A and B are shown apart, each in its own frame.
Chain A
Amino acid sequence: MLKLSDIQTFYGPIQALKGVSLEVNQGEIVTLIGANGAGKSTLLMTICGDPQAREGQVVFEGRDITQAPTAQIMRSGLAVVPEGRRVFTGMTVEENLAMGAFFQTPEETERLLDHVLKLFPRLKERYTQRAGTMSGGEQQMLAIGRALMSQPRLLLLDEPSLGLAPIIIAQIFEIIEQLREEGTTIFLVEQNAHRALSIADRGYVLEHGHIVMQDTGEALLNDDNVRRAYLGG
């Protein structure tokens, strides 16, 4: 479904990704773990074309999107829940969700809205409230809801558990699994390696801009090196 080959991405003179290749297949949950500054977010954003890869190729559903403008990529069946959530704080929950459904027909929007509010009943309670006044967990739910409003076939998630209470994290991971059952493919970038690997079919480990390991989620969870480096022994 998504295939990255030998991706190199730069921020000015600094090379953040030094030739990364990975693959996400239809119906999978694939996770990418790694330490702070390993290049995880950069990798995720490179898929979105912001920034664009300098070398290598990003292919989504058979089409090369490496050089495509961000807006065009995001209209082709991908959606992202970016680092820091980036909900529109000055807008209500309703308006944020409507922004996600910008290119949907009114009937589709209605149906998607129903679906999202069922997944996150909390958003229904906060429906006319400004996003900026909500808690971090609620904003994260909104960011995921907004992404789902575009009916993505591939959902990219950047550290959805960051800074949230354990009970909220559990809820969010449950939702991610539920989305996969509904047929959405998921690419999950996480620092919370234990949780991420537990639900993932496959995982990649990124260090200093290189993929250093790849295996099934379970195998990585039981790997000694991974345990030492990312799971606290």
Chain B
Amino acid sequence: MSESLLYFFQQVINGLTVGSTYALIAIGYTMVYGIIGMINFAHGEIYMIGTYVTFIVVTALASMGIEFLPVVLVTALAISMLVAGSYGYAIERVAYRPVRGSKRLIALISAIGMSIFLQNYMRLAQGPRDLAMPGLISGGWDLSGEGPLALSLSYMQAIIFIATLVSMGALTWFISRSRTGRACRACAQDQGMTSLLGINTNKVIAITFVIGAMLAAVAGFLLGLYYGVVNPMIGFIAGLKAFTAAVLGGIGSIPGAMLGGLILGVTENMTAAYFSTEYKDVVAFTLLCLILLFKPSGILGKPEVEKI
């Protein structure tokens, strides 16, 4: 394979890596939107908290002398999902449930307030500066070619792909097959009717927030290990990116969020590789503007049709 082709495929792999984590975060936006029709602007902060918890757990385990990698990874992932899930629940209770009946603008302001609060709370608790962690997982496979331009897949990237696939698979099963997942879909379509069947819709909505938060924590865990750096502001940009991914794929659609994340990740990486790193965010948000202008329902979203 020629060098330029190898380079191209390498960019695809790198793009899919970041894209799969965008997809994980985007699912939280899309699920919450699907069920209550509001964008949870504090969702990016959940991702940030997930990353911090991962760092804290890894460091704590290291200081206790536990360095067996599978144990460290599983513990860190489990604890960050647990903590992020509780934050997701709390956000719903504190910032959403009290204002659910009122105008959308009020809920939006409430969510942005929550987002600012969480950023600054982390800033106070952990300091405003970057925290870095040495890479736990290094090395990888050379797939093709040799030297600096070889096509390679790092172990960390493989872990990201596998973890994303497993999470998506579990979510898909949950939504399409489980009893609670069915209630989530029912609630997304007709909340009033769902409660007319005796189902406590408050509970269903809370579960949706918790699941979205847990997936964001998976993303926080993975990207934390991948980049090895965290600061209290990372949730803001990641949240915007994932929001873009959700809109791109069609807000409210879970497969759409997955697809949107991957497309956005690859597009960004291509821009950085062939054009300029500085422009990758510009391209991402230009994409958002174009979608909103020309196909607001996104790639897999359906415009709503009501049958009387």
Q: How far is the CB of B308 from chain A (nearest CB, A)?
A: 7
Q: State whether A91 and B200 are in contact (beta carbons under 8 Å apart), knowing that A102-B179, A132-B307 are contacts in the complex.
A: no
Interface presence of A54 (CB below 8 A): no
Interface presence of B280 (CB below 8 A): no
Which one of B179, B196, B201 has the highest number of Cβ atoms from chain A below 10 Å of its Cβ? B196
Q: A95 near B182 (CB under 8 angstroms)? A: yes
Interface presence of B193 (CB below 8 A): yes
Which one of A70, A72, A74 has the highest number of Cβ atoms from chain B below 10 Å of its Cβ? A70
**A72, A75, A82, A95: which contacts B193 (Cβ < 8 A)?**
A82
A69 contacts which chain B residues (CB < 8 A)? 195
Q: B193 near A50 (CB under 8 angstroms)? A: no
B198 contacts which chain A residues (CB < 8 A)? 71-72, 74-75, 102-103, 150
Contact with A along B264-308 (1 / 0, CB 8 A): 000000000000000000000000000000000000000000011
A71 contacts which chain B residues (CB < 8 A)? 195, 198-201
Q: For the A-B complex with A82-B193, A88-B190, A132-B307 known, give 17 more contacts whose Cβ atoms are closer than 8 Å.
A: A70-B195, A74-B195, A74-B197, A75-B198, A80-B196, A86-B192, A88-B185, A88-B193, A90-B189, A91-B182, A91-B186, A98-B179, A98-B182, A102-B179, A102-B198, A103-B198, A150-B198
Q: State whether A74 and B179 are in contact (beta carbons under 8 Å apart), knowing that A88-B186, A91-B185 are contacts in the complex.
A: no
Interface presence of A225 (CB below 8 A): no
A20 CA / B12 CA spacing, docked (Å): 68
Interface presence of B160 (CB below 8 A): no
Q: Determine the residue in chain B with the shortest Cβ distance to A90.
A: B189
Q: State whether A102 and B197 are in contact (beta carbons under 8 Å apart), knowing that A84-B308, A89-B307, A91-B182 are contacts in the complex.
A: yes
Q: How far is the CB of A147 from chain B (nearest CB, A)?
A: 9
B185 contacts which chain A residues (CB < 8 A)? 88, 90-91
Q: Determine the residue in chain B with the shortest Cβ distance to A84.
A: B308
Q: How far is the CB of A74 from chain B (nearest CB, A)?
A: 4
Q: State whether A86 and B190 are in contact (beta carbons under 8 Å apart), knowing that A71-B201, A74-B197, A132-B307 are contacts in the complex.
A: yes
Q: How far is the CB of B201 from chain A (nearest CB, A)?
A: 7
- Contacts A/B (CB < 8 Å), 28 sampled: A48-B196, A50-B192, A50-B196, A70-B195, A71-B195, A71-B200, A71-B201, A72-B198, A74-B198, A82-B196, A84-B308, A86-B193, A88-B185, A88-B186, A88-B190, A88-B193, A89-B307, A90-B185, A91-B189, A95-B182, A98-B179, A98-B182, A99-B194, A102-B183, A102-B197, A102-B199, A132-B307, A146-B197
Q: For window 57-74 of chain A, which residues contact chain B by CB distance below 8 Å?
A: 69-72, 74
B190 contacts which chain A residues (CB < 8 A)? 86, 88
A82 contacts which chain B residues (CB < 8 A)? 193, 196
Interface presence of A209 (CB below 8 A): no
**B192, B197, B200, B308: which contacts A99 (Cβ < 8 A)?**
B197
Interface presence of A100 (CB below 8 A): yes
Contact with B along A91-134 (1 / 0, CB 8 A): 10001001110110000000000000000000000000000100
B197 contacts which chain A residues (CB < 8 A)? 74, 79, 99-100, 102, 146, 150
Q: For window 163-184 of chain B, which residues contact chain A by CB distance below 8 Å?
A: 179, 182-183
A90 CA / B194 CA spacing, docked (Å): 14
* Residues of B near any A CB (own CB < 8 A): 179, 182-183, 185-186, 189-190, 192-201, 307-308
Residue total for A at the interface (Cβ-Cβ under 8 A)? 26
A48 CA / B195 CA spacing, docked (Å): 10
Q: How far is the CB of A70 from chain B (nearest CB, A)?
A: 5
A90 CA / B175 CA spacing, docked (Å): 13
A86 contacts which chain B residues (CB < 8 A)? 190, 192-193, 196
List the 10 closest pairs (A to B, CB-CB), nearest first: A74-B198, A75-B198, A86-B193, A71-B195, A70-B195, A71-B200, A88-B189, A88-B186, A71-B198, A99-B186
Q: How far is the CB of A184 from chain B (nearest CB, A)?
A: 17
B196 contacts which chain A residues (CB < 8 A)? 48, 50, 70, 74, 80, 82, 86
A38 CA / B307 CA spacing, docked (Å): 25
A132 contacts which chain B residues (CB < 8 A)? 307
Contact with B along A138-156 (1 / 0, CB 8 A): 0000000010001000000
Q: How far is the CB of A5 from chain B (nearest CB, A)?
A: 23
A75 CA / B196 CA spacing, docked (Å): 9
Q: How far is the CB of B139 from chain A (nearest CB, A)?
A: 45
Q: How far is the CB of B225 from chain A (nearest CB, A)?
A: 37
A102 contacts which chain B residues (CB < 8 A)? 179, 183, 197-199
Q: How far is the CB of B140 from chain A (nearest CB, A)?
A: 42
A48 CA / B194 CA spacing, docked (Å): 12
Q: Determine the residue in chain B with the shortest Cβ distance to A149.
A: B197
